[in-house]
Structure 1
Amino acid sequence: MTQKRRNKRNISGWIVLDKPFDVTSTQAVGKLKFLFEAKKAGHAGTLDPLATGILPIALGEATKTVPYIQDGEKIYRFDLVWGSATETDDAEGAVIETSDRRPTEDELRNALPQFTGVITQIPPAYSAIKIKGERAYDLARAGEKVEVPPREVEIEAFELISHSPERSSFEVTCQKGTYVRALARDLARVLGTCGHVGALRRTRVGPFAEEDAVTVDALEAVSRDDRDAMLLPVSAGIADLPEVNVDTRQSATIRLGNPVLLTGANAPIAMDEAAAICAGELVAIGYVEKGQFKPSRVILPG
């Protein structure tokens, strides 16, 4: 007997998942897509399998706002294990170098300013970056020598939380594209030793923080209606965009992909980017030109 296929739903919104250890971001998306019976789902920023913490997952129309979350500020807490470098720059890989040198707390604090502001880093060979059309980690696992080009990233803050001769804890606030594993590797090198990330947790992505997060266990423990109630609105993904209010008639016009003239004493004349809102619901993302809101990404009603 064949198993009856589940009907997929047109359900939209955000779930801020507290991703568990040893689960890939793709696996996490698949799990939530199954739980919500959603037709479409995606995540906003890959989190390493050995990392835990904030993985924003978009369902349905929320996937159209994923780029705004990916471009947002991120905060990580991580442990740097001193004295051993690994091929993956974290605890998953084989040890490739060791050192007896251990930095002092003063040496650490003096080195951190070198890693704040706009810096250049070479992402790990075991990363999702594409090299000639192939993922770097696929090439590395196949035994090929991987040369990942350097890139500029922005580190807004890099703070020492605790220190011991064998392990130190840090919090880093950074922008898109930063590899914490590379940051740990390079900090150890500057201090004349080697090291790797022993634990990593992401505590913030854009507007989403730990207080917004739910676990897979919590989602599995409730009914479908209660699970649906945990969804954040699609508009949660564009919390930092300025808003323009439109009425029901204008909303219908915008959802056909057409511009509308904004009226009222406070109506803007020009805006590089804005969100059109009708009765608290996101209608579209677009821009304002000569007093008209012009949609570039329409959000269908849920």
Structure 2
Amino acid sequence: MKKVRDLVDGVLLLDKPVGLSSNDALIKAKRILNAKKAGHTGTLDPFATGLLPLCFGEATKFSQDLLEADKTYETLVHLGIKTNTGDTEGEAIETRPVDVTIGQIEAVLERFRGPILQVPPMYSALKRDGKAYYEYAREGITLEREARPVTIHRLELLGYDAPFLKLSVTCSKGTYIRVLGEDIGEALGCGAHLNALRRTGVGALTADGMITLDDLSQHAAPLSLLAPVDALLSTFPSVELNDDLAKRFLHGQRLALGKEPSVAVPAEQGRVRVYHGGRLLGTGVLGEYSILAPERLISTAP
């Protein structure tokens, strides 16, 4: 008999362990919570650890925002050794001596700050002709890849104990830290691969309050560890609607908030989170003349 899953809504800030794929981590968390619907917000490589926000139920409607968000990482770059995957999971393909100074490292890091072009790695989930790059790579096939623009918002040297370089990186979506580490190694003349990678931030979400799978499985009330759905929307201004406006909003109607003296309207146009009686109704877009257009609605809202 098929197990009945529960309707679970919320966000879990999972501290993904090393060795698990993001999807495997999601499946384990979903099973522990007996949740009917769940999704993650952008993959972490199996060798990587750290912040993997998991969305359950109604929160999955807003997961795209985190896919588009900037990410923050701490990484340990092993200079002098290149691997075929760019990380510890691959085989060493080249070894070179490491003879660099802090001054040389700082000068090279400056070259990678701001907008840069990055060639996606062969060992990635990107696809060509319906087949993932890593499948081609495992067959010994190397494809031509076009460089893509990404932005390194912050690149900070945390420490250098040769041959290990510890960095903190905040970057735009689509950035491969493996490739960044390899490119820094090449610029230093010695090559490199990632020894460790830990994600500490996704958009406005941080590592504070992360939960391990062990913590989740051993907790007497694991559902209490979930953050509310609107944890994903904390950077948006909020709008509180009265009874009549809330009903109309949930029916998909546009609202002229400028004509409603009871509603405090945010000063700037753009996306907003919408509430009634303190409960999230969904998101909307505030346009000219304080017109609020519904965007994504919470089906469990009253």
TM-score (norm 1): 0.93
Alpha-carbon distance in structure 2 between the residues aligned to 1:163 and 1:78: 12
Letter of the aligned partner of 2:101 in structure 1? Answer: T
Contact in 2 for aligned 1:155/1:174 (Cα 8 Å): yes
Identify the residue that residue 101 of structure 1 maps to in structure 2: 98
Contact in 1 for aligned 2:238/2:266 (Cα 8 Å): no
Identify the residue that residue 241 of structure 2 maps to in structure 1: 246
Superposition pairs for residues 217-228 of structure 1, below 5 Å?
217-223=214-220, 226-228=221-223
Identify the residue that residue 187 of structure 1 maps to in structure 2: 184
Alpha-carbon distance in structure 1 between the residues aligned to 2:65 and 2:278: 19
Partner of residue 280 from structure 2, selected from 261, 265, 282: 282
Identify the residue that residue 272 of structure 1 maps to in structure 2: 270
Identify the residue that residue 26 of structure 1 maps to in structure 2: 23
Identify the residue that residue 128 of structure 1 maps to in structure 2: 125
- Output one character per residue of 1:227-275: Cα deviation in whole Å (capped at 9) or x when no partner: 1111111111111112211123322332232223321274359723222
1:285 CA displacement? 1.4
Alpha-carbon distance in structure 2 between the residues aligned to 1:184 and 1:211: 26
1:282 CA displacement? 1.8
Letter of the aligned partner of 1:231 in structure 2? Answer: L
SS at match of 2:208: helix
1:59 CA displacement? 0.2
Identify the residue that residue 67 of structure 2 maps to in structure 1: 70
Contact in 2 for aligned 1:269/1:288 (Cα 8 Å): no
1:70 CA displacement? 2.0
Bigger Cα displacement from structure 2, 194-203 vs 144-153? 144-153
The structure 1 segments of at least 4 consecutive aligned residues displaced by more than 4 Å after TM superposition are: none
Identify the residue that residue 260 of structure 1 maps to in structure 2: 255
SS at match of 1:212: coil
Bigger Cα displacement from structure 2, 184-193 vs 281-290? 281-290
Identify the residue that residue 231 of structure 1 maps to in structure 2: 226
1:204 aligns with 2:180: no
Alpha-carbon distance in structure 1 between the residues aligned to 2:196 and 2:296: 38
- Output one character per residue of 1:191-246: Cα deviation in whole Å (capped at 9) or x when no partner: 111110001111111122121200000111123xx211111111111111122111
SS at match of 1:110: helix
Superposition pairs for residues 114-153 of structure 1, below 5 Å?
114-153=111-150
1:229/1:249 CA distance change after superposition, 3 Å: farther
Bigger Cα displacement from structure 2, 9-18 vs 262-271? 262-271
Alpha-carbon distance in structure 2 between the residues aligned to 1:134 and 1:49: 20
- Output one character per residue of 1:85-118: Cα deviation in whole Å (capped at 9) or x when no partner: 1111001111122212332222101111101011
Bigger Cα displacement from structure 2, 146-155 vs 257-266? 257-266
- Output one character per residue of 1:270-293: Cα deviation in whole Å (capped at 9) or x when no partner: 723222122222212121244332
Contact in 2 for aligned 1:185/1:195 (Cα 8 Å): yes
1:184 CA displacement? 0.4
Return 5+ residue gaps in structure 2 as ranges.
Answer: none
Alpha-carbon distance in structure 1 between the residues aligned to 2:145 and 2:275: 43
Letter of the aligned partner of 2:233 in structure 1? Answer: I
1:155 CA displacement? 0.7
Identify the residue that residue 300 of structure 1 maps to in structure 2: 299
Contact in 2 for aligned 1:83/1:102 (Cα 8 Å): no
Letter of the aligned partner of 1:233 in structure 2? Answer: P
Q: What is the number of equivalent residue pairs in this alignment? A: 297
1:11 CA displacement? 1.1
Partner of residue 40 from structure 2, selected from 40, 43, 53: 43
Contact in 1 for aligned 2:39/2:54 (Cα 8 Å): yes
SS at match of 1:204: strand
